[in-house]
Structures are given as structure tokens and as C-alpha cells.
Amino acid sequence: MNTTFRTLRSAITGALALSAATFSWALTVPGPVVSPEWVQQNRAELTVLDIRANQKSFTAAPQFEVDKKTGKKFLAEVGGHIPGANWVDPKLMRTDRMVNGLKVQFMLPEKADFEKLARGWGVPAGKPIVISTLGQDGADFNDATRLYWQFKYYGEDNIAIVNGGTTAWLAEGRTFSTEPSGPVAGNWAATAERTELLATSEDVEKASTGQSSQLVDARSSSQFLGLSKRATVAAYGRVAGAKNVSSELLVTESGDAARILPNATYANVFRQSGVDPQAATITYCNTGHLASGAWFVLSEVLGNKKTRLYDGSMHQWALEKRPMVSVNQTP
């Protein structure tokens, strides 16, 4: 009888432990953007990826100074990261691909290649992913949204971006780490290829005639008008019919960090730029980097699931010698 009782008790204890473990892994992100506070509360159950070009800052201590007038300590130089985060080099998350006989740079990796990258970043299967950056400006925001889009394309839904990144984390007085990324390999696997998130040159050409989607150019107004260009784009100008919503409009850079704007503000930014935030949309830029920010705001924040990203963007468009419009050239 005692043996039976002990066996039963062990079985129940094991079942409860398994249930608790399952529950702990069942955590889901509350939305596409999470606060530093939420990350701290759930840190043990998350995979944190820190994407930044400056690897030295990942292991450097932040610098704080004291305001002589108020006596308050403030963040003078960002350094370190959220404890347990793994560093992601933004230069390695995209690749060259052959498209219709042309070598197009800065593209989404093939499925197997992206899986290999994610596993190298220590991403396990089934655990929520949160993406952090330095959090200082719009460029940091776009690093996060580009990585988010790539995970989303390959089937990951339990993923979010940390609002304000490391800068917000430090400014709020949270514990930081300067330890390098650990060597632990992950086993994350791509579960889909969501082609509905991706636009081709043919899709963009159709949209330029007003037949399907509206076009959002996320570059600076100077590049949009054709007054300047990046070296990665072979010609000046934009796609006919596009509206300009510069990526610098998508975060607030005042205060202690580059943070997400309120939903209503985002909707007004697009409307006042001539873009319906709920209509079918294709976003583009020079290489698909800035465009990911516009895609993220429309698709994930405002819920417009009819939004696609033109991965090759103006780099591919110009390589293919497709028509462009500028202040010195009309359609």
C-alpha cells in the first residue's frame, strides 16, 4: 500500500513538474512591442537578441554622469546589454542572391541559411524571442524591424521588439551585463515561408500604375526626390506613384531613447503623407532595411496584414533598369 502510494505521489509530482515546465515555455509576447519592464519580469523565459553593428559596445560598461545643477545621474554613453542577451551582427543577417540572372545584394537568406544563423545566435525552438538594439535612433529601430521581418517570414510569431532598446533599459536603472555572448547553439527551425509578406519587382511595377497596392518609400526626402542617392542604387529617383514616409518619422528620438510612437500618431503620419494605413501597401527603400520599419508599423503595430516588403528595393529596381521618377525626370 505504501509502495503504491509513493508511486502515485511520484507520478503526480512528475506530472505537475512537467505541467509547470510546459507552462513556463508557453509564455507568449503581449504584442509586437514590449517594454523593458516586461522583459525584466519575464527574462528567464525569453531569448534576447541584441542587434548592433558596434560589437565593442556590447561588452563595454555604460558611462553615467551627474547633472551639476540637479544632482541627478544620467546616461552619457550607452554600453553593455540586457543580461543574457546574444549579440547579432546586422551585416551577417542578409546575403547576396541571384534574381533573374542578376546578383542582388542585402537580401533575405534562404530558409536553411537563416535557420543556421538563428541557431548560431543561440535561439531555441519554442521560446519567445525579443529583439533589442542600442535604441538611440531610427537606424537602430530598423535593425530590429528587419530582423523581426526575417523571423516572421520564416514562420516565427512569438517575437517582439524591446521599446527603446538598451538605452531605455539603462535609463530606467535596470541591471546590465558586459559579458560576451555565450557559445550555446540553438535549435530554432523555420516553420513556413510566408511569401505574402514579400513583394517582387513585378508586384511593384503593377502597384506603380495604381492597379493593386499603394507604394511607400521609406527613404529620406532627398533620395525620394532624386536629389541624392546611396552608392548601392545605380540611379536617382523613386518608383512612380510612391508616397514618401521617411523612416526617421517612425520613432521619437527626443528624451532618453528612440521609442515607438502611439498608434494614433502613426496612423496620422501615414494619412498626412497621403497613405491609407489600412490599404494594401508595399514598402521599399534602398535595400529593404528602412522599408522594414514602415512594414513593421503598418503590419504589426497598426494591424494592416495587407502590407508587403520589397526586399530588393531600389537596389534591385535600378539593377533591372526599371523606370524611375525624380525632380529632373517625369513619368
Phi-psi region of 327 (alpha: psi -120 to 50; beta: other; left: phi over 0): alpha
- Give 13's pLDDT tier (boundaries 50, 70, 90): very low
Residue 238 DSSP class = B
- Give 17's pLDDT tier (boundaries 50, 70, 90): very low
Q: Distance between CA atoms of 134 and 141, rounded to whole angstroms?
A: 9
Q: Which residues contact 6 (CB under 8 A, 6 or more apart)?
A: none
Q: Distance between CA atoms of 112 and 122, rounded to whole angstroms?
A: 16
Give all domains of the chain, ordered by start, each with its CATH number.
28-171 (3.40.250.10), 195-319 (3.40.250.10)
Q: What is the DSSP string of 202-224?
A: HHHHHHHTTSS-EEEE-S-HHHH
Q: Which three cell numbers stand for residue 280?
A: 494594401
Polymer length of the chain: 331
Closest CA to 275 of 227, 319, 243: 243
pLDDT in tens, 285-318: 999 999 999 999 999 999 999 999 999 999 999 9
Q: Which residues contact 116 (CB under 8 A, 6 or more apart)?
A: none
pLDDT attached to residue 253? 77
Residue 208 burial by CB count (10 A; 0-12/13-18/19+): exposed, middle or buried?
buried
Q: Which three cell numbers stand for residue 300?
A: 504589426
Beta bridge partners, 104, equal: 97
The greatest distance separating any two alpha carbons of the chain, rounded to the nearest whole angstrom, comes to 93
Q: Which residues contact 199 (CB under 8 A, 6 or more apart)?
A: 207, 213, 282, 284, 308, 309, 310, 311
Query: Do the Cβ atoms of 47 and 124 come closer than 8 Å?
Result: yes
pLDDT attached to residue 15? 45
Query: Do the Cβ atoms of 112 and 143 come closer than 8 Å?
Result: no
Q: Distance between CA atoms of 283 and 22, rounded to whole angstroms?
A: 39
Q: Distance between CA atoms of 319 and 96, rounded to whole angstroms?
A: 14
pLDDT in tens, 228-273: 999 999 999 999 999 999 999 999 977 789 999 999 999 999 999 9
pLDDT attached to residue 210? 85
pLDDT attached to residue 25? 52
pLDDT in tens, 188-208: 999 999 999 999 999 999 999
pLDDT attached to residue 88? 97
pLDDT attached to residue 287? 98
Average pLDDT over residues 14-32: 63
Q: Which residue has the higher pLDDT, 330 or 8?
A: 330
pLDDT attached to residue 325? 96
pLDDT attached to residue 190? 98
**Does residue 245 sit in helix, strand or coil?**
coil
